[in-house]
Amino acid sequence: MGIIIALIIALIIVVVVITAIQQRNEKALQEKRAKSAKQKAIIDETEELFQNLANLPTNPVLVLILNTRILNATKIMAEISPGNKLITRRVKDMEELIQEGKKENNQSSEQTFTLPDNEATLVSVLQSIKKIRVILKSEQAKGNLDAQTFTEEDNKLSGMQLKISVESLQKRGMVAYQKGMLGSARQYFEKAVQTISTNPLQTEYCTAKREEIEKILTEITSTLKNTNASDVAKKAKDEEDDLDLLFQPKKKW
């Protein structure tokens, strides 16, 4: 009887141990899947950003940063799944691509940023710029990007973001101005000047664009003054005519 009880207890212990091991393995597998999914999301997000780089000035440094981000995520996936030949191959391909990118980086040249004419494309570009700036900050926090490179690239992106905002406001302001909607036009132009003035980095573009818009604002102010004076004179003339009509000699019938 004692032997049977001992065997039952031993069996229960074995079942408990096996269950615990299975639960631990399942938890470890879930953690690996979650970690792998996170890295996959990083890769997908970065690759999606590359699609919009065509609308930005050619920037080998930025391409190198983004490709390095993909490489780091791929390496983590390779550590999670060391037997996956596709991931191992992807790591090798990315390393070769980055080496080629470093050569192009040494031959890089500055290009002017031209805004897309299509409104939907412009919005997409603006969203991409914002995402890239967040990524740069994240990569610097991880130690994958030095402070100088981060500052230089972030300033470039900040300048593009500013240009999109200012040029869009100016464009809307000009449309309102041409339609004779002087009040609305003035609001757009004043908002553009405010956007420039509050920008932390004051560049030659900021100075030139502020002068250009302030000149238009001066024209609008002058036009509004003339319009108001004309309205006042017209109103006074109308009131005078009303008084003349009221006190003119009445006809006798």
Question: What whole-number distance in Å separates Cα of residue 52 and Cα of residue 122?
Answer: 10
Residue 32 makes CB contacts below 8 A (sequence gap 6+) with 80, 81
For residue 214, how far is the Cα from the chain centroid?
27
What's the number of CA atoms in the CB half-sphere (13 Å) around residue 209?
Answer: 26
Please provide the distance, in angstroms rounded to a whole number, between the alpha carbons at the two ends of the chain: 139
What is the helix (H) or strand (E) element at residue 207, kind and residue range? helix 204-247
Q: Do 101 and 63 meet the contact criterion of CB atoms below 8 Å apart? A: yes
Token digits of residue 205: 């573009």
Q: What's the chain's average pLDDT?
A: 84
Residue by residue, pLDDT tens for the chain (253 residues) are 777 777 777 778 888 888 888 888 788 788 888 898 999 999 999 999 988 788 888 889 999 999 999 999 999 999 998 888 999 999 999 999 998 888 766 655 556 788 888 888 888 889 999 999 999 999 999 999 999 999 999 999 999 999 999 999 999 999 999 998 888 999 999 999 999 999 988 999 999 999 999 999 999 988 888 765 455 445 444 444 444 444 455 554 4
Domain boundaries, the chain: 8-107+117-145, 168-226
**Shortest CA distance to 91 belongs to which of 103, 76, 105?**
76
Q: Do 94 and 42 meet the contact criterion of CB atoms below 8 Å apart? A: no
SS3 assignment, position 179: coil
DSSP 167-180: HHHHHHHHHHHHTT
Distances (CA, A) of 251 to 83, 244, 247, 248: 111, 14, 12, 9
